[in-house]
Structure 1
Protein backbone atom coordinates (compact mmCIF):
# COMPACT_ATOMS: atom_id res chain seq x y z
CA UNK A 1 0.00 0.00 0.00
CA UNK A 2 1.15 3.52 -0.75
CA UNK A 3 -0.21 6.77 0.67
CA UNK A 4 -0.24 9.97 -1.40
CA UNK A 5 -1.25 13.49 -0.54
CA UNK A 6 -3.19 14.70 -3.56
CA UNK A 7 -4.57 18.04 -4.69
CA UNK A 8 -7.02 19.17 -7.33
CA UNK A 9 -6.74 22.11 -9.69
CA UNK A 10 -8.58 24.25 -7.10
CA UNK A 11 -5.88 23.36 -4.54
CA UNK A 12 -8.12 21.18 -2.33
CA UNK A 13 -5.80 18.69 -0.59
CA UNK A 14 -6.61 15.14 0.54
CA UNK A 15 -4.83 11.89 1.35
CA UNK A 16 -5.55 8.54 -0.27
CA UNK A 17 -4.14 5.02 -0.17
CA UNK A 18 -3.39 2.96 -3.28
CA UNK A 19 -2.44 -0.67 -3.81
CA UNK A 20 0.63 0.34 -5.81
CA UNK A 21 2.16 3.11 -7.91
CA UNK A 22 0.74 1.34 -10.97
CA UNK A 23 -2.75 1.29 -9.45
CA UNK A 24 -2.53 5.04 -8.76
CA UNK A 25 -1.31 5.73 -12.32
CA UNK A 26 -4.15 3.67 -13.81
CA UNK A 27 -6.81 5.49 -11.73
CA UNK A 28 -5.38 8.95 -12.45
CA UNK A 29 -5.09 8.24 -16.21
CA UNK A 30 -8.76 7.17 -16.34
CA UNK A 31 -9.85 10.25 -14.29
CA UNK A 32 -11.28 7.97 -11.59
CA UNK A 33 -9.87 9.98 -8.69
CA UNK A 34 -12.27 12.78 -7.78
CA UNK A 35 -11.89 15.68 -5.36
CA UNK A 36 -14.56 15.21 -2.70
CA UNK A 37 -14.87 18.99 -2.22
CA UNK A 38 -15.45 20.15 -5.78
CA UNK A 39 -15.71 17.04 -7.96
CA UNK A 40 -12.66 17.90 -10.06
CA UNK A 41 -10.86 15.03 -11.78
CA UNK A 42 -7.79 17.19 -12.46
CA UNK A 43 -5.76 15.62 -9.63
CA UNK A 44 -2.00 15.66 -9.03
CA UNK A 45 0.33 14.50 -6.28
CA UNK A 46 1.08 17.20 -3.72
CA UNK A 47 4.45 17.65 -2.03
CA UNK A 48 4.61 15.41 1.04
CA UNK A 49 6.89 15.20 4.04
CA UNK A 50 8.85 11.93 4.08
CA UNK A 51 7.90 9.26 6.59
CA UNK A 52 10.98 8.47 8.67
CA UNK A 53 11.12 5.54 11.10
CA UNK A 54 12.34 6.20 14.61
CA UNK A 55 12.67 3.96 17.64
CA UNK A 56 9.49 5.55 19.05
CA UNK A 57 7.52 4.10 16.16
CA UNK A 58 8.08 0.44 17.11
CA UNK A 59 4.58 0.07 18.59
CA UNK A 60 2.92 2.01 15.80
CA UNK A 61 2.50 -0.94 13.37
CA UNK A 62 0.26 -2.69 15.92
CA UNK A 63 -1.78 0.49 16.43
CA UNK A 64 -1.96 0.95 12.66
CA UNK A 65 -3.29 -2.60 12.22
CA UNK A 66 -5.89 -1.99 14.94
CA UNK A 67 -6.89 1.31 13.33
CA UNK A 68 -7.17 -0.29 9.87
CA UNK A 69 -9.25 -3.10 11.34
CA UNK A 70 -11.61 -0.59 12.99
CA UNK A 71 -11.90 1.40 9.75
CA UNK A 72 -12.63 -1.80 7.82
CA UNK A 73 -15.35 -2.75 10.34
CA UNK A 74 -16.82 0.77 10.25
CA UNK A 75 -16.99 0.68 6.43
CA UNK A 76 -18.62 -2.77 6.53
CA UNK A 77 -21.20 -1.45 9.03
CA UNK A 78 -21.88 1.57 6.79
CA UNK A 79 -22.28 -0.73 3.79
CA UNK A 80 -24.83 -2.88 5.64
CA UNK A 81 -26.86 0.18 6.68
CA UNK A 82 -26.85 1.68 3.19
CA UNK A 83 -27.80 -1.61 1.52
CA UNK A 84 -30.58 -2.20 4.09
CA UNK A 85 -32.05 1.31 3.84
CA UNK A 86 -31.42 2.36 0.22
CA UNK A 87 -32.39 1.26 -3.26
CA UNK A 88 -29.62 0.05 -5.56
CA UNK A 89 -30.10 1.71 -8.97
CA UNK A 90 -26.89 0.47 -10.60
CA UNK A 91 -25.55 2.40 -13.58
CA UNK A 92 -28.71 4.53 -13.64
CA UNK A 93 -27.57 6.42 -10.53
CA UNK A 94 -26.87 9.81 -12.19
CA UNK A 95 -30.21 9.84 -14.06
CA UNK A 96 -32.16 8.73 -10.99
CA UNK A 97 -30.47 11.29 -8.70
CA UNK A 98 -31.18 14.09 -11.19
CA UNK A 99 -34.82 12.98 -11.60
CA UNK A 100 -35.34 13.02 -7.84
CA UNK A 101 -33.70 16.44 -7.55
CA UNK A 102 -35.97 17.85 -10.25
CA UNK A 103 -39.06 16.29 -8.64
CA UNK A 104 -39.63 13.90 -11.55
CA UNK A 105 -39.12 10.78 -9.40
CA UNK A 106 -40.08 10.02 -5.80
CA UNK A 107 -37.45 11.10 -3.27
CA UNK A 108 -35.71 8.16 -1.58
CA UNK A 109 -32.29 6.96 -0.56
CA UNK A 110 -30.43 5.46 -3.54
CA UNK A 111 -26.95 4.21 -4.36
CA UNK A 112 -25.26 2.95 -7.50
CA UNK A 113 -22.53 3.80 -9.98
CA UNK A 114 -21.84 6.87 -12.09
CA UNK A 115 -19.07 7.81 -14.48
CA UNK A 116 -16.72 10.47 -13.11
CA UNK A 117 -17.95 13.14 -15.54
CA UNK A 118 -21.61 12.36 -14.70
CA UNK A 119 -20.86 12.61 -10.96
CA UNK A 120 -19.09 15.93 -11.54
CA UNK A 121 -22.12 17.28 -13.45
CA UNK A 122 -24.38 16.32 -10.53
CA UNK A 123 -22.08 18.15 -8.10
CA UNK A 124 -21.80 21.18 -10.41
CA UNK A 125 -25.61 21.34 -10.55
CA UNK A 126 -25.86 21.32 -6.75
CA UNK A 127 -27.24 17.79 -6.53
CA UNK A 128 -25.93 16.25 -3.28
CA UNK A 129 -23.99 13.05 -4.02
CA UNK A 130 -20.88 11.45 -2.58
CA UNK A 131 -18.65 8.47 -3.37
CA UNK A 132 -19.03 5.43 -1.15
CA UNK A 133 -15.98 3.58 0.21
CA UNK A 134 -17.17 0.14 -0.95
CA UNK A 135 -18.47 -1.83 -3.91
CA UNK A 136 -22.17 -2.74 -3.93
CA UNK A 137 -22.95 -6.38 -3.06
CA UNK A 138 -23.96 -6.97 -6.68
CA UNK A 139 -20.42 -6.07 -7.80
CA UNK A 140 -18.54 -8.31 -5.33
CA UNK A 141 -18.06 -12.06 -5.33
Structure 2
Protein backbone atom coordinates (compact mmCIF):
# COMPACT_ATOMS: atom_id res chain seq x y z
CA UNK A 1 0.00 0.00 0.00
CA UNK A 2 1.12 3.52 -0.76
CA UNK A 3 -0.29 6.77 0.60
CA UNK A 4 -0.29 9.91 -1.52
CA UNK A 5 -0.84 13.48 -0.39
CA UNK A 6 -3.15 14.95 -3.02
CA UNK A 7 -4.36 18.44 -3.90
CA UNK A 8 -7.39 19.35 -6.01
CA UNK A 9 -7.56 22.26 -8.43
CA UNK A 10 -9.29 24.35 -5.72
CA UNK A 11 -6.44 23.88 -3.25
CA UNK A 12 -8.06 21.28 -0.97
CA UNK A 13 -5.40 18.93 0.42
CA UNK A 14 -6.28 15.30 1.20
CA UNK A 15 -4.69 11.85 1.36
CA UNK A 16 -5.53 8.59 -0.39
CA UNK A 17 -4.20 5.02 -0.26
CA UNK A 18 -3.44 2.94 -3.34
CA UNK A 19 -2.35 -0.70 -3.75
CA UNK A 20 0.58 0.28 -5.97
CA UNK A 21 2.08 3.46 -7.38
CA UNK A 22 0.56 2.79 -10.81
CA UNK A 23 -2.95 2.50 -9.33
CA UNK A 24 -3.13 6.26 -8.73
CA UNK A 25 -2.35 7.02 -12.38
CA UNK A 26 -4.85 4.46 -13.66
CA UNK A 27 -7.65 5.55 -11.33
CA UNK A 28 -7.05 9.25 -12.02
CA UNK A 29 -7.16 8.61 -15.79
CA UNK A 30 -10.53 6.84 -15.35
CA UNK A 31 -11.91 9.77 -13.27
CA UNK A 32 -12.09 7.73 -10.06
CA UNK A 33 -9.95 10.02 -7.88
CA UNK A 34 -11.89 13.01 -6.58
CA UNK A 35 -11.59 15.60 -3.85
CA UNK A 36 -13.69 14.64 -0.80
CA UNK A 37 -14.44 18.32 -0.14
CA UNK A 38 -15.58 19.66 -3.53
CA UNK A 39 -15.72 16.49 -5.69
CA UNK A 40 -13.28 17.94 -8.23
CA UNK A 41 -11.58 15.28 -10.34
CA UNK A 42 -8.67 17.61 -11.20
CA UNK A 43 -6.31 16.14 -8.63
CA UNK A 44 -2.52 16.11 -8.47
CA UNK A 45 0.05 14.49 -6.20
CA UNK A 46 1.84 16.74 -3.75
CA UNK A 47 5.54 16.50 -3.04
CA UNK A 48 6.04 14.08 -0.16
CA UNK A 49 8.98 12.85 1.85
CA UNK A 50 9.29 9.08 1.57
CA UNK A 51 8.22 7.03 4.57
CA UNK A 52 11.23 5.06 5.72
CA UNK A 53 10.49 1.97 7.77
CA UNK A 54 12.01 2.00 11.22
CA UNK A 55 12.44 5.74 11.56
CA UNK A 56 10.93 7.39 14.57
CA UNK A 57 8.61 10.30 13.96
CA UNK A 58 8.65 12.87 16.67
CA UNK A 59 5.70 15.14 17.04
CA UNK A 60 5.84 18.14 19.27
CA UNK A 61 3.17 18.40 21.89
CA UNK A 62 1.21 21.63 21.48
CA UNK A 63 2.21 24.43 23.82
CA UNK A 64 -0.33 24.24 26.71
CA UNK A 65 -0.36 28.01 27.13
CA UNK A 66 -1.11 28.51 23.43
CA UNK A 67 -3.87 25.86 23.51
CA UNK A 68 -5.43 27.47 26.60
CA UNK A 69 -5.28 30.90 24.97
CA UNK A 70 -6.93 29.60 21.77
CA UNK A 71 -9.67 27.81 23.74
CA UNK A 72 -10.42 30.91 25.81
CA UNK A 73 -10.52 33.04 22.67
CA UNK A 74 -12.98 30.59 21.05
CA UNK A 75 -15.18 30.51 24.18
CA UNK A 76 -15.14 34.32 24.30
CA UNK A 77 -16.16 34.49 20.61
CA UNK A 78 -19.02 31.99 21.04
CA UNK A 79 -20.36 33.79 24.09
CA UNK A 80 -20.06 37.19 22.38
CA UNK A 81 -21.93 35.91 19.31
CA UNK A 82 -24.77 34.53 21.43
CA UNK A 83 -25.04 37.69 23.54
CA UNK A 84 -25.15 39.89 20.43
CA UNK A 85 -27.53 37.79 18.31
CA UNK A 86 -29.82 35.83 20.66
CA UNK A 87 -32.68 37.06 22.90
CA UNK A 88 -31.89 36.98 26.62
CA UNK A 89 -34.85 35.45 28.51
CA UNK A 90 -33.30 35.23 31.99
CA UNK A 91 -34.50 32.50 34.32
CA UNK A 92 -37.50 31.72 32.10
CA UNK A 93 -35.21 29.93 29.63
CA UNK A 94 -36.66 26.44 30.20
CA UNK A 95 -40.28 27.60 29.78
CA UNK A 96 -39.50 29.73 26.74
CA UNK A 97 -37.39 27.02 25.06
CA UNK A 98 -40.24 24.52 25.53
CA UNK A 99 -42.81 27.02 24.19
CA UNK A 100 -40.69 27.67 21.09
CA UNK A 101 -40.13 23.93 20.56
CA UNK A 102 -43.84 23.19 20.84
CA UNK A 103 -44.89 26.12 18.62
CA UNK A 104 -46.55 28.22 21.35
CA UNK A 105 -43.98 31.01 20.97
CA UNK A 106 -42.29 32.56 17.95
CA UNK A 107 -39.25 30.68 16.70
CA UNK A 108 -36.08 32.54 17.64
CA UNK A 109 -32.68 31.95 19.19
CA UNK A 110 -32.62 32.48 22.97
CA UNK A 111 -30.31 32.17 25.93
CA UNK A 112 -30.76 32.45 29.66
CA UNK A 113 -30.51 30.49 32.89
CA UNK A 114 -31.89 27.05 33.75
CA UNK A 115 -31.35 24.64 36.60
CA UNK A 116 -29.74 21.25 35.93
CA UNK A 117 -33.14 19.62 36.54
CA UNK A 118 -34.81 21.90 33.96
CA UNK A 119 -32.09 21.19 31.41
CA UNK A 120 -32.45 17.43 31.93
CA UNK A 121 -36.23 17.64 31.39
CA UNK A 122 -35.74 19.70 28.23
CA UNK A 123 -33.25 17.19 26.82
CA UNK A 124 -35.45 14.22 27.82
CA UNK A 125 -38.32 15.85 25.90
CA UNK A 126 -36.20 16.48 22.80
CA UNK A 127 -35.95 20.24 23.25
CA UNK A 128 -32.56 21.29 21.84
CA UNK A 129 -30.39 23.22 24.28
CA UNK A 130 -26.73 23.53 25.15
CA UNK A 131 -24.77 25.30 27.85
CA UNK A 132 -23.26 28.64 27.01
CA UNK A 133 -19.52 28.78 27.75
CA UNK A 134 -18.84 30.80 30.88
CA UNK A 135 -17.23 34.17 30.32
CA UNK A 136 -13.50 33.40 30.37
CA UNK A 137 -11.21 35.79 32.20
CA UNK A 138 -9.61 38.49 30.14
CA UNK A 139 -6.18 37.46 28.79
CA UNK A 140 -4.32 40.03 30.87
CA UNK A 141 -5.68 38.53 34.12
CA UNK A 142 -4.57 34.95 33.37
CA UNK A 143 -1.23 33.64 34.64
SS at match of 2:71: helix
Aligned to 2:133: 133
Q: Is 1:110 aligned to 2:110, yes or no?
A: yes
Aligned to 1:8: none
- Please give the per-residue CA displacement for 1:25-71, whole angstroms capped at 9, x wherever unaligned: xxxxxxxxxxxxxxxxxxxxxxxxxxxxxxx9xx86x8000100010
Q: Map 1:71-110 to 2 at 5 A.
A: 71-110=71-110
Structure 1: gaps spanning 5 or more residues: 1-55, 136-141
Aligned to 1:66: 66
Shift of the alpha carbon at 1:79?
Answer: 1.0
More helix by share: 1
SS at match of 2:123: helix
Aligned to 1:124: 124
* Partner Cα distance (2:125, 2:105) in 1: 17
Deviating beyond 6 angstroms after TM superposition, the runs of 4 or more aligned structure 1 residues are none
TM-score normalised by the chain length of structure 2: 0.50
Shift of the alpha carbon at 1:80?
Answer: 1.1
- Please give the per-residue CA displacement for 1:99-130, whole angstroms capped at 9, x wherever unaligned: 00111100100001100001000000000111
* Larger Cα-atom Rg: 2
* Partner Cα distance (1:126, 1:65) in 2: 38
Shift of the alpha carbon at 1:77?
Answer: 0.8
Q: Which has the higher contact order (CA 8 A, sep 6+)?
A: 1
Give aligned pairs, total: 77
CA-based RMSD: 1.7
Shift of the alpha carbon at 1:82?
Answer: 0.7
SS at match of 1:126: coil
* Partner Cα distance (1:122, 1:79) in 2: 21
